[in-house]
Structure formats: C-alpha cells, structure tokens
C-alpha cells in the first residue's frame, strides 16, 4: 500500500497543476495509464538521442557517434549528423504548420455567401488582396476570396520567387535575408530541399545544413503561419478581447461535455456552429442533460477561446486527464499534439474519442471523417454522436476537479495595438499606429516584451517552467505575450486577468495594465499565431525605422517539445529576436552546431538561441539581455521617433 502511495506521489510531482494531481490519483485508482505513469519507465533516456548523434538516414545505420565510433559508416561525423537531425526537425515543424495553412487556404476557396464557410472580415481580405496586386474594385467579395485562395496556394509550390510576406519586414532585415540566402521560396520546396540535402551522401557541412534549416523555418513563420493566421482571421473573425475560463473545472457535471483538441479551426468552428443549433440543444435536454459545454485543449482550444471565449479545458499534458474526469462525452480531434494514448484511456470510460482527419487516424478511436465540402452536416453528425453518448455516462466514475481561473483573451495584432492606442494616446487618429506601444517601451515603464510560447515537456514538471518564467518577467515589468500551451498555463493561473496585475506585475506594468485595460499576460493565439508576434515586432521596427533585432523583445519556449517549436524558434531567431529555451534541444553532441546556433548566428542575424534549464536563471538571462539592449533602443527612439 505504502508503495502505491509513493507511486502516485511520484507521478503527482511531475506536474504543478493541482487539478492534474487530483486526476493522476484518480487514474491510478481507475487502473488507467497516463503519460505520468509511462514517464516512470523513462527515467534514463537514450544519451545518443538526447545529444542528436544517432543517424538512421540510410539502411547501413543506425550509426551512433561515440569515442569508439567517431564517424558513421559513410564517414558522417557528429556535426553532420546533429545538423541533419536538427534540419529534419525544422522540416517536420514547417510541414505541420504549413499543411494546416494549406487546408485553411483550400477552405477559403470553398467560401460562399450561403455556405458553411463565409468571409467575416471583408476589409482584411481586401487589404490582403490589394497587397498581393489582386484587383478588387467592383468585385464580389467571394470572387476576391477565391482569387486570394488561389494565390495563397501558389505560395506552397510556385516555381519562381520568394515568400510574398517578406516585403513587410524592415528593409534592413530583408537585406540580411537576401545576403545570407534565408529568403524562403515555395513552402513545399523548402521542406523538400531539407529532406534532399539531409539524405545520405548529400550535405555534410554542419553550418550550411543549419542555414538550409533556417530558410525552411522561414517558410513556416514568414509564409505558412502567416497564411494560416490571416486566412483564419478573414474567415472566422479577428480575435477581440473576450472573457473566458481555464482548467478542467470548466467541464459541467450536468451538461454534455464536448472537448475539441488539435489545431484546425475549420473543424472546430463548425462544431461550435452545430452545438449552438436549437435542434442540438433540444436533443441534449431529451437525453437528460441541462445543455452542451464545449471546451478546448491545445491549439484548437486557443483558436476557439480567442474568437469565441470558449473555455480552455487544459493544455497538452492534460488531454488524457480530461478523459479521466469521466465527464466527457466526446473528445473530437483533428491534427497535431494528440496523444494516441487517448484512445486507450477513453476505453475505461464512456468517452468517445473521435478522430476526424485522414492525416491523423488513431487505432482504437471512432473515426468520423470531416470534409470541408459538407462541413455543417458532418459537424452535426459528430455533435449528435456526442450528445447521444450522455446516457452512457457512469456517474460513479465522474470527478471534475475544483479549480479554474478566469481570464481575458483574444489579443490579435489589431486588438493589442487598438487597446493601447485607444487609451494611451486617444488624439492619434490612425488606429494602426504602434506609437503608444513604442512610447511605453521607450519610457521604460515596460522594460521589454517577451513572447513565452510553446508546449509542455515531460522533461520538466508540467507547467513549472512556464509559470516560473512568466511570473519572473511580469514581476520585473516585462509584458508577456503567449501562444499555444504556454497561454493555457497563464490563463489557468489567473495571469490573464487585469485584476491580478497588481498582485503579480511590477509597478510599471501594473500601471499600464490599469491604464489601458489589459492583463499582464496577453493571449495572442495558437502556435500558428506566432506570426502575430512577428507582425507586431515588424510594425514597431518599421515605425521606429530600425531592425527587429534593435527592439527590447525576446522569444522564450520554457517547455518546448514539438518539431513545430524548433521551427518556430528558428524563424524567430532569423527574424532578429533572441530565443531562450528551457529544455536543451538534441544538438549537444556537436560543438559546431551549438556554437553556431547559440553564437555564430548572432553575427549574421543579430539574434541567436540561448539555453538554460533552470527557469529563474532563464528569466534572468532574458531580462539582462534586454536591459543591455535598452540604451541603444532608447537612442534610436530619440533619433527616429522624437525628432520625427
């Protein structure tokens, strides 16, 4: 018995989320295996993999670099192997974000006045069309949408030219990209180039392989993700500040609980629409429920909360635990970050674990394929399935943990700028000016802005690095903007409430929060929406007539885990923003790779990676580096803004 208690305590020590601790204990009681149990078996992980020195790029391998075997069978050394593995991670991440964007673009091609998908932001569409040289005068908005969709799809495979979005960057940044060959051409081409160059017998020079990886990641940030975010905003609406709640207590005992998990708003937006239909609400009553509660996990959750205030059930590490509550009628998933284990966990309860994408079928799940062409009907079928499952719920197995937090989310670029602009400097007419943000930064009231983004990683206690870094930063007057699961962590802990600014933020930041009615941590969206951070930084740099690397800003991924996160970090560095990681990427086996990524790139790009696995130290590194940049930044402000 004592042994069992120790086991539960050991698992509970792997998260700081109190709801998760309750459900870890319940999972053990219910005989359910979760990630926390599996982690016990992974205390010693493969040293070759951790350092990135294992190669299986051909059938002669796997080859593993050690003192005894310093080269693979083909002669590739640790520098080649590490760089190739790193590049393939960037290609995987770029493929995931960009294939999501491709589907969004195909959906834009299906929009129509009376169809499932419509245009909610015609002005944004027209502005984008004009910037792409598409004639808009006198044209039906849906004709414009279809032309923009066609041009968007060309970004994936156009034979000539580079990303259409690069021209928005500061001139100095564009010159750097041109000089070093970092301008991404077609998205698919960049991914293919990485796969080709890292094939056996191709590139074997560490730094040049990393350069190819950088160009590929640029196709993620400055092409695929920009398309994903902008097209989603045009079709589903640009987020605006909205109140929400976060953590597993958002599940409701007497309601049909539907959790949406994954990444594609094309599916989740339709589920929202279907669940709101009177016929569905009536069906829920018929089966004995009071109503229907939708909530989200991972980036689908982020997309939905940003646009509709739909509650955030939890983050990446809580997906299995959500099912363990026994109160979930259906977990509907599409693509990315979905544990295959959810199918197994669901078998212990009445929960239907429903996969919907041919790209992500999972053994043991209920597969209900979703098609954009028949979106509304498909969504209704899926929601009906969830509602009818309410009668199978075993009340004796239900445990919804007690905690949730309120928060305000929905800070798109326009919302951030608009909020500051409205209040700080209301005499400025152009809604688009970033001057109030620049003024707040230059005055030093806000010391800097840090994007704290990314996943949860089982190498750290869930949420610990995120929460520690964010709290340190806001305590010292650094405004934090969050995406992905980092945003869920902040929301769950009350950091997205203006009312809590006084408690957690330094005096300067708390004053700004009070004045302009924002929380100290801003939710800017899903992992694809990191492009919003690029856009705001770009707008500020353009306004100040400087480069992005001159700004007092940084990126941080305290608990990154996915290939997408590696691609994100790489394009953020390429944009000129120093990026701080709380978990070491698998590159430590190559001194050349480490020196280039964490040093050499600084000379070329004005930014590089920094790694520190202790979160208070990590936050300190960020703050010290930003403070060191401030005198030059303030000089630029005096010269280029005050004297304008």
Binding site residues, ligand MSK, CB under 6 A: 263, 298-299, 316, 337, 454-455, 484-485, 526-527, 562, 564
Partner whose footprint covers residue 484, from ligand MSK, ligand SF4, none (CB < 5 to 8 Å by kind): ligand MSK
Phi, psi of 227 (to 5 degrees): -65, -50
Contact 195, 88 (CB under 8 A): yes
Nearer to ligand SF4, 84 or 263 (CB): 84
Nearer to ligand SF4, 18 or 73 (CB): 73
We find the least distance from the C-beta atom of residue 188 to ligand SF4, in angstroms, to be 24
Nearer to ligand SF4, 59 or 278 (CB): 59
Partner whose footprint covers residue 58, from ligand MSK, ligand SF4, none (CB < 5 to 8 Å by kind): ligand SF4
E-only strand ranges, 195-291: 242-246, 256-261
Partner whose footprint covers residue 526, from ligand MSK, ligand SF4, none (CB < 5 to 8 Å by kind): ligand MSK
We find the least distance from the C-beta atom of residue 89 to ligand MSK, in angstroms, to be 13
Partner whose footprint covers residue 61, from ligand MSK, ligand SF4, none (CB < 5 to 8 Å by kind): ligand SF4
Nearer to ligand MSK, 91 or 505 (CB): 91
SS3 546: coil
We find the least distance from the C-beta atom of residue 263 to ligand MSK, in angstroms, to be 6
We find the least distance from the C-beta atom of residue 555 to ligand MSK, in angstroms, to be 13
Partner whose footprint covers residue 444, from ligand SF4, ligand MSK, none (CB < 5 to 8 Å by kind): none
Residues 609, 600: Cα–Cα separation, whole Å: 10
Partner whose footprint covers residue 562, from ligand SF4, ligand MSK, none (CB < 5 to 8 Å by kind): ligand MSK
Contact 553, 534 (CB under 8 A): no
Phi, psi of 621 (to 5 degrees): -60, -45
Residues 34, 20: Cα–Cα separation, whole Å: 11
We find the least distance from the C-beta atom of residue 168 to ligand SF4, in angstroms, to be 39
Nearer to ligand MSK, 211 or 559 (CB): 559
Nearer to ligand MSK, 326 or 454 (CB): 454
Give residue 284's Cα distance to chain centre: 33
Residues 590, 206: Cα–Cα separation, whole Å: 9
Residue nearest to ligand MSK (CB): 484
| All residues at 6 or more sequence positions from 21 whose CB lies less than 8 Å from its CB, including other chains | 12, 15
* Interaxial angle between packed helices 298-308 and 225-236, expressed in degrees from 0 to 180 and rounded to the nearest 10: 40
- DSSP assigned state of 452: E
Nearer to ligand MSK, 283 or 455 (CB): 455
We find the least distance from the C-beta atom of residue 96 to ligand MSK, in angstroms, to be 8
We find the least distance from the C-beta atom of residue 67 to ligand SF4, in angstroms, to be 16
- Spell 113-149 as b/e; 16+ CB within 10 A means b: eeebbebbbeebbbebbeeeebebeeeebbebbbbbb
We find the least distance from the C-beta atom of residue 66 to ligand SF4, in angstroms, to be 13
**Which stretches of the chain bind ligand SF4, using CB under 6 A?**
55-58, 60-63, 72-74, 76, 200
Partner whose footprint covers residue 455, from ligand SF4, ligand MSK, none (CB < 5 to 8 Å by kind): ligand MSK
Contact 350, 394 (CB under 8 A): yes
Nearer to ligand MSK, 454 or 576 (CB): 454
Contact 327, 400 (CB under 8 A): yes
The Cβ-side half-sphere exposure at 281, using a 13 Å CA radius, reads 6
């Amino acid at each position: 018995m004592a042994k069992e208690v120790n086991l539960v305590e050991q698992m509970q020590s792997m998260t700081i989320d109190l709801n998760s601790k309750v459900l870890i204990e319940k999972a053990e009681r219910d005989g359910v295996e979760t990630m926390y149990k599996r982690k016990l078996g992974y205390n010693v992980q493969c040293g070759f993999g951790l350092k990135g020195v294992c190669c299986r790029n051909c059938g002669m391998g796997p080859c593993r670099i050690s003192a005894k075997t310093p080269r693979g069978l083909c002669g590739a050394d640790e520098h080649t192997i590490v760089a190739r593995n790193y590049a393939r991670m960037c290609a995987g991440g770029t493929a995931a974000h960009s294939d999501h964007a491709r589907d969004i673009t195909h959906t834009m091609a299906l929009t129509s006045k009376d169809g499932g998908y419509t245009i909610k932001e015609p002005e944004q569409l027209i502005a984008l069309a004009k910037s792409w040289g598409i004639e808009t005068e006198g044209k039906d908005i849906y004709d414009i949408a279809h032309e923009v969709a066609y041009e968007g799809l060309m970004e994936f495979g156009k034979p000539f030219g580079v990303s259409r979005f690069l021209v928005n960057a500061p001139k100095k940044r564009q010159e750097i990209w041109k000089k070093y060959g970092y301008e991404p051409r077609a998205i698919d081409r960049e991914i293919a180039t990485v796969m080709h160059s890292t094939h056996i017998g191709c590139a074997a020079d560490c730094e040049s392989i990393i350069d190819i990886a950088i160009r590929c990641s640029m196709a993620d940030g400055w092409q695929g993700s920009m398309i994903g975010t902008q097209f989603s905003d045009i079709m589903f609406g640009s987020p605006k500040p909205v109140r929400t709640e976060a953590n597993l207590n958002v599940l409701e005992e007497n309601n049909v609980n539907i959790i949406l998990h994954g990444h594609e708003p094309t599916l989740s937006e339709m589920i929202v629409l279907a669940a709101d239909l009177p016929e569905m609400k009536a069906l829920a009553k018929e089966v004995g429920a009071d109503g229907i509660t939708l909530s989200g996990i991972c980036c689908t959750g982020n997309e939905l909360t940003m646009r509709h205030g739909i509650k955030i059930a939890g983050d990446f590490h809580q997906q299995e635990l959500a099912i363990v509550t026994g109160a979930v009628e259906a977990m509907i998933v599409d693509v990315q970050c979905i544990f295959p284990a959810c199918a197994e966990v669901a078998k212990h309860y009445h929960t239907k674990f429903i996969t919907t994408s041919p790209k992500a079928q999972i053994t043991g799940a209920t597969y209900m394929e979703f098609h954009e062409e028949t979106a509304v009907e498909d969504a209704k079928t899926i929601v009906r399935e969830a509602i009818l499952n309410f009668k199978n719920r075993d009340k004796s197995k239900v445990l919804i943990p007690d905690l949730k937090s309120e928060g305000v989310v929905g800070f798109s670029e326009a919302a951030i700028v608009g909020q500051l602009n409205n209040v700080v400097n209301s005499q400025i007419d152009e809604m688009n000016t970033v001057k109030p943000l620049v003024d707040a930064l230059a005055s030093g009231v806000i010391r800097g802005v840090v994007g704290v983004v990314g996943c949860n990683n089982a190498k750290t206690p869930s949420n610990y690095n995120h929460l520690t870094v964010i709290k340190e930063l806001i305590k010292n007057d650094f405004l934090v903007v969050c995406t992905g699961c980092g945003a869920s962590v902040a929301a769950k802990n009350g950091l997205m409430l203006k009312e809590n600014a006084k408690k957690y933020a330094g005096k300067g930041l708390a004053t700004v929060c009070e004045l302009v009615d924002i929380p100290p941590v801003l939710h800017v969206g899903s992992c694809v929406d990191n492009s919003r951070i690029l856009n705001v930084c770009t707008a500020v740099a353009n306004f100040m007539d400087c480069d992005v690397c001159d700004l007092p800003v940084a990126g941080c991924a305290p608990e990154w885990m996915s290939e997408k996160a590696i691609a994100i970090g790489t394009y953020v560095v390429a944009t000129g923003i120093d990026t701080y990681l709380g978990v070491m990427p698998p590159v430590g086996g190559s001194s050349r790779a480490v020196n280039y990524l964490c040093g050499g790139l600084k000379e070329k790009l004005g930014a590089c990676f920094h790694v520190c696995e202790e979160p208070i130290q990590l936050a300190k590194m960020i703050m010290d580096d930003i403070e060191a940049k401030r005198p030059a930044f303030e000089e630029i402000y005096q010269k280029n803004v005050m004297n304008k």
